[in-house]
Chain A
């Protein structure tokens, strides 16, 4: 960009109103243009959240990593703006809701759980995940195309894997379809969210009480027998792990298949066992699935030349950080052969996604299995007719109609 143009643009941004969250998406795979424009010139900018309060938006990868690793920024939900909520009063985390706690409260839970999600343990699940994937591919092959790939493949696989791991009945996802939607809609009312959470928590609480009475050989059973955790803590932990395991991986699969069907020359990179691991990292980098997270400053913090005041919230924009040209050359291009190491799709700091190694194994199994079974897989509708999850916190495709040629 020419110097004069850059100066003019900077001047404009400095004097303009704060950005307003949530932002409007203008392309299938790119983060909203209004914040992509920011990344070159301002790593942190004023933003107005959905409840009308103002705070900060960090868009540069290095700034985001700084915020997420700095203990002066708190994850406590009663201190930070949720970004979305229209209510101002969010209660402190209940026992076991570790993602909304700071160390040392967070640390205790994190260590109890991290041993269950190690790289080694998750790799051992690959065969089980493959079985689940093949079952669903068999059913797809027996059906008449077109089919909705989200319903037939992308959504059920992660849901069954996390349910089996935790020891939650396999019909959990169908049973709570409505509640899961209510909890993840951007415009859900606080009352609606609270009711949905109460329904799910009631069911999980009952399950945990049964497991307490009859010890089970699964993750929830293990937490009940090993730790000094109460039923309430185990219930809330189970809630978080299920919630984290459903929509995230499912939408990487759904939106990822769409991206690859629109650029099929790259499919061989993900079906090749030699290159699948890196290909998955690049899809994780490129796809804007999780919009971000928020931290609250516990004291005044100077960052990138601005002063974040104690009590102010900083939203970090994960998709923008992943498109940082300072780290990734030609960042807005999907290139399954590039090294995507260092993406921040699982966050950073002590709260970095505890299920990330599970997600990786699911994706390394799920993408290749699909494209190997259906080498002629293609979209059954024009790309602009694919319904998107623009109204959900977790982005992706709502449905993905696909078809294939009979052999």
Chain B
């Protein structure tokens, strides 16, 4: 199964993920960094892939569980 991996250290708070999949992503009001607000399993896989490639600081990745 594919899982979303979030590297908050890399996140630059641009908001591209929130723009792309608003039902999954949000931003922390203090530093703008990504917050995952819901289970990603129900999200549209193609929108999730877009969120990953559009992230300007490569903070998101989709990984297959071993």
Which A residues are closer than 8 A to B by beta carbons? 68-69, 110-121, 341-342, 346-354, 356-357, 360
Q: Can you name 12 extra interface pairs (CB under 8 A) apart from A116-B32, A346-B14?
A: A68-B56, A111-B33, A113-B32, A114-B13, A114-B14, A114-B31, A114-B33, A115-B13, A115-B29, A119-B19, A349-B12, A350-B57
- Do B33 and A352 touch across chains, with their CB atoms under 8 A apart? no
Contact partner of A115 (CB less than 8 A), chosen from B14, B31, B53, is B31
Q: How far is the CA of A342 from the CA of B56 in the complex (A)?
A: 10
B30 at the interface (CB under 8 A from A): yes
B contacts with A: majority SS: loop
B20 at the interface (CB under 8 A from A): yes
- Known contacts A110-B13, A341-B50: does B27 contact A349 (CB below 8 Å)? no
- Do B15 and A342 touch across chains, with their CB atoms under 8 A apart? no
Interface residues of B in 1-55 (CB under 8 A from A): 12-16, 18-20, 22, 26-33, 50, 53-54
Which B residues are closer than 8 A to A by beta carbons? 12-16, 18-20, 22, 26-33, 50, 53-54, 56-58
Q: How far is the CA of A68 from the CA of B55 in the complex (A)?
A: 12
- Known contacts A352-B14, A356-B14: does B27 contact A115 (CB below 8 Å)? yes
- Counting from the closest, the 10 A-B pairs by CB-CB distance are A114-B32, A114-B13, A352-B56, A118-B27, A111-B31, A119-B18, A119-B15, A115-B32, A350-B12, A352-B14
Contact partner of A117 (CB less than 8 A), chosen from B32, B33, B53, is B32
Question: Chain A: which residue is nearest B25 at the CB level?
Answer: A119
Question: Chain A: which residue is nearest B22 at the CB level?
Answer: A119
Q: Output the least CB separation between A362 and chain B (Å).
A: 15
Q: Which residues of B contact A111 (CB under 8 A)?
A: 13, 31-33
Interface centre among B26, B27, B32, B58 (most CB of A within 10 A): B32
Question: Chain A: which residue is nearest B18 at the CB level?
Answer: A119
- Do A119 and B27 touch across chains, with their CB atoms under 8 A apart? yes
Q: Which residues of A contact B31 (CB under 8 A)?
A: 111-112, 114-115
Q: Output the least CB separation between B47 and chain A (Å).
A: 10
Q: How far is the CA of A354 from the CA of B16 in the complex (A)?
A: 11
Q: Output the least CB separation between B20 and chain A (Å).
A: 7
Q: How far is the CA of A73 from the CA of B17 in the complex (A)?
A: 24
Q: How far is the CA of A352 from the CA of B16 in the complex (A)?
A: 10
Q: Which residues of B contact A119 (CB under 8 A)?
A: 15, 18-19, 22, 27
Q: Which residues of A contact B58 (CB under 8 A)?
A: 69
